[in-house]
Amino acid sequence: MRKALWIWLVWGMLCGSSYGVPSGQRSFPVASGVPGGLLQVSVRVELGGEVPDAIILAENWPEGCRVVSGVWEGVEFTPVQAGREWRWLWGYGSGNPGVSSGVLRYEVELPAEESPEVVAAQVFGTLCTCEGETLVAGDDTLLVDEDGESTMECVLTLHPGWNLLSLPMDPDEYSRAQLSEVQSLCLVPSGLPSHYQICPLAELSGGEVFWLYSEEVQSRALLLTGGTPDSSVAVSGGGWSSGWNLVGVVGESALPVPPSGKPVWHWEDGRYREWHGALLPGVGYWVFH
């Protein structure tokens, strides 16, 4: 309560300057919530003009929901909670990030038991500066389905340069939005031996094995969510062929290597290396069949 009061006192001190009101766009997987599950939320903040001294994002969620973690441009970010409202503050005070355009990502833990208030609820928020406030646009309807299928999670690690990866799930809208932001070149097998074709990263389907050239200067870990395809193993070309096969794991569990007497290869630090152990989700392998 004291911290919330301090925020509004500081806000009053900052309102001597004149600045515009930024815009916000919220996105989350609209119909994938299940009781007790985690919902991945992102809010894109665009300044679109002169930079204000401070911004407050006030997000209102149904009773029983709570923020588990928040990240702003790769740095941990914690809101102040006041009842059902969570207030994220940029620009003033120790520990708060500076004002800029960017994407806030946070996880919401849904109530463990389904309640009429949360089954189909409206989520709304406002972005505030000294000049006024504007509503956050985008996804605003939360659907919690007690009989719905739980989504799976996977961390996809992208290193600078070439990566040989696999997609263990069908990405939801939130994850596809993350993938679309990656500066990269993505190649998938074309169906002909040793031939590849360009495919936008955000358009990949669950189970695909692919080469990705990351143009980013540092390694990046993406937390992806989505539904699990039917098969437990993805083989490039749709099925096992005699000889070497490009393979990935589908789902969350590691799988034993098919017995062949041949080594398994993966790509690491710019070259092929022999792999020992079970096949892991998110990685592409060459397996002899």
Provide DSSP, 49-85. Answer: SSPPS-EEEEEE--TT-EEEEEEETTEE--PEEETTE
Query: 211-224, pLDDT tens digit by residue?
Result: 999 988 888 888 78
164 pLDDT more than 90:
yes
C-alpha to C-alpha distance for 230 and 121, rounded to whole angstroms: 31
Sheet holding 264-268, edge to edge: 233-235, 244-249, 284-288, 264-268, 271-275
pLDDT of residue 179: 87
Q: What percent of the chain has pLDDT over 90?
A: 6
Q: Is the pLDDT of residue 281 over 50?
A: yes
Summarised one tens digit per residue, pLDDT across range 217-247 is 888 888 787 776 665 566 665 667 778 888 8
DSSP 33: B
Question: Which of residues 211 and 53 earns the better pLDDT score?
Answer: 211
Distance between CA atoms of 277 and 152, rounded to whole angstroms? 23
CA distance 168 to 202: 14
Report which of residues 36 and 167 the model is more confident about: 167
End-to-end CA distance of the chain: 63
Q: Is the pLDDT of residue 15 over 80?
A: no
> Residue 117 is inside which H or E element, if any?
helix 116-119
Structure tokens at 89: 């503050």
What is the predicted pLDDT for the residue at 176?
A: 86
> Taking 90 as the threshold, does the pLDDT of residue 37 lie above it?
no
Global pTM exceeds 0.75: no
- Which sequence spans correspond to the domains of the chain? 2-143, 152-288
CATH topology of domain 2-143: Immunoglobulin-like (2.60.40)
pLDDT score of 3 = 45
